[in-house]
Structure 1
């Protein structure tokens, strides 16, 4: 029987190819004890290159109409030169503004952020020079070359015909990339290095060591794929950002979850770990519970990582880069948020505390607030993506057929809506 789901805009194959490359290098890194930050960068490349190859050679995504590229009738470069120069002005001004932000805020030059800034410093001249050839070449083939970058460049140079919607979307897109790519790139060595150093060391000594190692492994996969996704935003890969979320509520909800604006870390407003202990402490004298909890944590972390892998080269927060319907997204519209929050609840067990009953109540309430923020994020994302007919079709199918929505409908005593 044919799959009734709407077709996915994202291929399974690209993500699996990237995963194979990531695992291959990760295995070599463990074998050769390559746990430094540059080895982590190689892991990014090992993930990205197979995804690019699969996308172009197997899926042939460069031929998709959604790229906005017409390969059959490139225009003479003189016809598009003015457009390209205006667009380059828009890009360069955008990057200069991002560089000014990075240089102004001191937290970008401390801790793990320093590594990300060092990478950007090396990449900046390459981007500057490479953008000239890329824009001149691509604009000859774009059906509508006057995009958001052109709108920003035209606005800066006082030209007519600037569409405000395109201009604002361009600024939102680069705000997303500037904020999240710095965070992701800063975090890659911090996940990669400890896993490589500790892999195989007492791995099977106890369920806690095994579970922690496997959960750490899943987060290495997640961080690498997420970072690669923010880098590979190119039209020929059909991985460009169509739209960035225009709603302020979506930005507030997302920024609450990531440093430096996060309110969820230790000592922050929503810190639910005060006077608490983790699952290994509470279940240490109950072997069945210990193994069961460890297994559940690994499964939840696996779902979370697989949700990121499903994006292939298109992962990004606050954006629409194509609608997913495969992998964990065949079960739930928000598998990453659901699995991550369940993992946090099980890891922290907030109803138990080393302090008073008040501490336990406080921790449980704050954990609920954290989950509520992720529910808020999910709803603001649905509002944004609902402007895409493909997402509307997917959401309607999911409401009727998705495993997670059906479970929640059963729990709340609701019947799934019949198909129109």
Structure 2
């Protein structure tokens, strides 16, 4: 185990912060210049991504890492191999579009802006994919990847192997499921911010509280959207592996639409929200303390998202993060969000219309805590296939802010699974 003060991390937190600053300035300028919402969102996504890509290439040498699977020499250009890969890639795109059409969930108005986004970027994705696939193919140690195998199958040829196709499918299901959610949320929240009068944020605590929540969640979904868009081997932000367990997927997907909202409505009345909790507190000082605690925990949650940079993604391993809030504890996002939910709903206990509502609300919070605990455990099991995570987990047993508790509560300690 590495006992030094620093553990290797797949990215750099200062570079990620610089990308966020670039995105913030760009979004602010778009608001000032009355740029159309779609162009404003695209510009903000680009402003976040480009500085990080550039600085990671220059400072972290991401294209030259062993984890990219690139060789030191170039392969001879094989038009046949590139053709099969492009067939596999475009067939994957076509399957995602078919699934979007098949499931009624994606016909809801919530996703209409996502379709505008896809139409806007589709021609560019098509054009860029050809030189990108050729470049990556020429540098890969093993150029006969899942795209090549899939392309051969679709062209009625025998593939070299079927083994990588399951991981290929799971990785694209992750991207196909989460990208619409994150982009639609990003567009919606950016629209909210575009009509927000920032000069009146401090006019009253309600405005400050709700604006703070919108800003923090906007940052969260901005980073998540970029993460699902830029899974690029060339920059070492590709998916290295995807969780293949049913339970891992279950505890993850239940935390997102459409499953989460359906469950939430069963336990907590629709009229109860964050503002209800704030206004249920009578004393101004207590209001301020509660508001500060909720926003602080949400801020910690967003810091955990920011730590991923270009590599945010559920259910996948895209390199091990050991910097930022991940130096303080494992799973800081889950810790912060669980505490956030508990604090946010504490005041609601005093205004619950009846004991049943109070009981079901508490039951919901307990269930949420259990779900996030199992999300952490299933992620650990998946990521532990990477030796870098094993080193990180063992290091955190001694250096985490929860290390003193873990000495007594052994379920908090990291135990490498035996495969």
TM-score by length of 1: 0.90
Deviations 1:192-220 (A, max 9, x none): 12123214252112333223222221111
Cα distance between partner residues in 2 of 1:105 and 1:206: 43
Aligned residues: 410
Deviations 1:139-175 (A, max 9, x none): 1111111222223223334544543331100001110
Report what 1:354 is aligned to.
352
Write out aligned runs for 1:26-45 (5 A): 26-32=27-33, 34=35, 36-45=37-46
Structure 1 residues 383 and 413: CA distance shift in structure 2, 3 A: closer
Cα distance between partner residues in 1 of 2:344 and 2:232: 38
Shift of 1:416: 7.1
Structure 1 residues 89 and 35: CA distance shift in structure 2, 3 A: closer
Cα distance between partner residues in 2 of 1:35 and 1:406: 49
Structure 1 residues 408 and 151: CA distance shift in structure 2, 3 A: farther
Structure 1 residues 8 and 322: CA distance shift in structure 2, 3 A: same
Structure 1 residues 26 and 129: CA distance shift in structure 2, 3 A: closer
Cα distance between partner residues in 2 of 1:121 and 1:209: 36
Check conservation: 2:150, 2:159, Cα contact below 8 A.
no
Structure 1 residues 30 and 82: CA distance shift in structure 2, 3 A: closer
Shift of 1:318: 0.8
Structure 1 residues 46 and 330: CA distance shift in structure 2, 3 A: same
Check conservation: 1:272, 1:364, Cα contact below 8 A.
no
Shift of 1:3: 4.1
Cα distance between partner residues in 2 of 1:415 and 1:177: 30
Farther-moved stretch of structure 1 (164-173 vs 351-360): 351-360
Of 261, 268, 278, the match for 1:272: 268
Of 226, 229, 236, the match for 1:228: 226
Report what 2:310 is aligned to.
313
Shift of 1:222: 0.9
Report what 1:339 is aligned to.
336
Deviations 1:215-258 (A, max 9, x none): 22111111111101111111121101101111111111111111
Write out aligned runs for 1:1-400 (5 A): 3-32=4-33, 34=35, 36-70=37-71, 72-77=72-77, 80-160=78-158, 162-263=160-261, 267=265, 269=266, 271-273=267-269, 276=272, 278-283=276-281, 285-349=282-346, 350-400=348-398
Check conservation: 1:274, 1:363, Cα contact below 8 A.
no
Shift of 1:15: 0.8
Structure 1 residues 417 and 116: CA distance shift in structure 2, 3 A: closer
Gaps of at least 5 residues in structure 2 are none
Cα distance between partner residues in 2 of 1:216 and 1:293: 17
Structure 1 residues 91 and 390: CA distance shift in structure 2, 3 A: same
Shift of 1:274: 5.7
Check conservation: 1:244, 1:318, Cα contact below 8 A.
yes
Check conservation: 1:91, 1:149, Cα contact below 8 A.
yes
Deviations 1:61-83 (A, max 9, x none): 1111111123x421221xx3332
Gaps of at least 5 residues in structure 1 are none
Task: Tell me the SS of whatever aligns to 1:246.
Answer: coil
Farther-moved stretch of structure 1 (173-182 vs 109-118): 109-118
Deviations 1:253-297 (A, max 9, x none): 111111133355653x4x3346746321221x2122111111112
Cα distance between partner residues in 1 of 2:352 and 2:371: 26
Task: Tell me the SS of whatever aligns to 2:256.
Answer: coil
Structure 1 residues 100 and 14: CA distance shift in structure 2, 3 A: same
